[in-house]
Each structure stands twice: as C-alpha cells, then as structure tokens.
Amino acid sequence: MHTYGRNILDIADELTTAYVEVFTGPPFEHRDRAQTGAAFRTRLETDAARDGFQAWVERSDDGQIAGFLTGWTTPAPFRTDRAYGSVLDRIGPEQVEELLIGAFEVDELGVLPRARGTGLARRLLETATRDRSRAWLLAWNQNHDALAFYRHLGWHEPEVRGPEHDIVVFTTT
C-alpha cells in the first residue's frame, strides 16, 4: 500500500478511472460515468490541497489500482457545502463539535470489484485510522453492503437529532 499527500495528483487520471468504476457500479449505477469522473477529479484537486490530506492506494499484482482511501482532519468551522449541511442537520452542532471537528474524515473509500472480499477495505480503513483517536465517514443510506460493513467493523452511528437524510454518519468513538 502506498501513501500519498498532495502528490496524489500525480496519479489523478488513474485514480479517477478507478473511482468511476467503483462509484458508477451497483448500487450507484444510476450515476453518469462522465459526470462522476469530472466531479471527482475537480474535488480531488481541491481536497489534495487541504491541511492534513492523505491518501492510500493499493495496487493489484498487475499494477492496477485495487482500492483507495482519501481523507483529512476535519477543520473548524464545520463546512456546510457538499453533504456537510446534512451531517449538521442530522446529528446537531454539539455532536459535530464533539465527534467530528479535529477527527480524521474518511472522504472516499473504494475497492474495485475484482478486489472485493479480500479484506482490502478493512486494511485501508485500519491504515488510515491506526494512529488517530477519532475518525468519521459518511455512507449513502441505500448502500446496504457498506452500512453493514461499517457496523460489522464496530463503527458507531451518533444519535440522530434532526431530520433523516440520505446519508448515515459513522464514527470510531
């Protein structure tokens, strides 16, 4: 497994291709491949410049990306763009402050179909969170396999204090 910082942009095209394969297949098959790739590539360029950005990439024996994880430490004040507003709405400002601010935020975790069932997702999460006291991530509420996986690993869902959204928040604490 290789660790990246801002140099993740050196493999941005390859990582975008892998991202599109993961996030336009089931249960995301309703997504447009070109739009998904363009949006990820734009986010990656911005995210790689964040303080504390890190990424981990594992390759299969043939040299192709098998899986990846990106993330950073969540800064204060808590953002409200992307899905952040839904997070704030769902768990409330007190839990955001207590559980998410200053914690490692797993932004993207993807394992390509040919590498599923190998323990790669678990290894990526363990590697990214090993030396961190707190971490968190979001999952789409219709991605039932991912929800079951995070629960199986012992990630917790903070108390829901607001309206339901299409995201589920998981924390390590």
* Structure confidence by residue, pLDDT tens digits, 70-121: 999 999 999 988 899 999 999 999 999 999 999 999 999 999 999 999 999 9
Distances from the Cα of 139 to the Cα of 26, 83, 151, angstroms? 14, 10, 11
SS3 7: helix
| Token code pair at residue 60 | 């299969």
Residue 136: the pLDDT is 97
In the prediction, which pLDDT does 173 show? 78
N-term to C-term CA, the chain: 26
pLDDT at 161: 86
